[in-house]
Amino acid sequence: MSGQNADRRENLLDATVALILRGGVRRASVDGIAREAGVSKGAVYLEFPSKTDLVDAAVQREMGRYLDSTAARIAADPEGGRLSGIYRHSIAELLARPFMRAIYEDDGQILAGLIRGPERYRPRVLLGEDFLRTMADAGLVRTDLDPATMSHLLSVLSVGPLLAEPVLRDESAPGLEATFELLAGLVVAGLEPTFRADPAAGVAAFQKLADGAALTFDGERPR
């Protein structure tokens, strides 16, 4: 792909993300995306056969960037490879990215109307059983706990506060950041063994997850 085509593609993906955040997928028409990107409608179809393909590519790009940035956060923290660190950095990066946050907080407006349905775009499990077994083998997760149950718990602890936010939010409620920090320190840290294993193995395990994470997507994850 030439540099000009790559720039046009990125511009179209940026425009798609902006319009989805502004009004949801249903309102993000190809005409609107072309106007937002400052190109002709025909230029859109030179890059993407359909609106669905364009949305697919935009979500995959945002998910890939999220995973790569989370892996970088984990690697930069000397304690980041522990389960509590991985959870903390995964959530912090998600909260810092409006599009990713919108996917999980979606009330049916952002991704509604997609052909394959919003579940394709909202991975329910990030830290799955295989990942947790790898962490247990490295001495970073308790071996007396079932990996499937731990994975489900971590998913609940990740998605639950986001889904509850619209219901529980008022002026006296703490910020989501404080809630997740408490969960990381009290609950997730309770899944770690009492002895202090080397967190480097956890850094490598998450990087492997990020590198191989098509997650629910097909094909190669865009960078």
DSSP per position, 80-140: TTSHHHHHHHHHHHHHT-HHHHHHHH--SSSSTT-TT-GGGGS-S-SS-HHHHHHHHHTTS
Distance CA 134, CA 98 (A): 31
pLDDT digits (tens, 9 = 90+) for 178-189: 999 999 999 999
Residues in Cβ contact with 76 at an 8 Å cutoff, skipping those fewer than 6 apart: none
pLDDT digits (tens, 9 = 90+) for 50-75: 988 998 899 889 988 999 999 999 99
Return mean pLDDT, the chain: 85
pTM of the model as a whole: 0.84
DSSP 169: -
Q: 211 is written with which tokens?
A: 């590198």
Q: Residue 96: what pLDDT?
A: 94
Which of the two residues, 115 and 37, has the higher pLDDT score?
A: 37
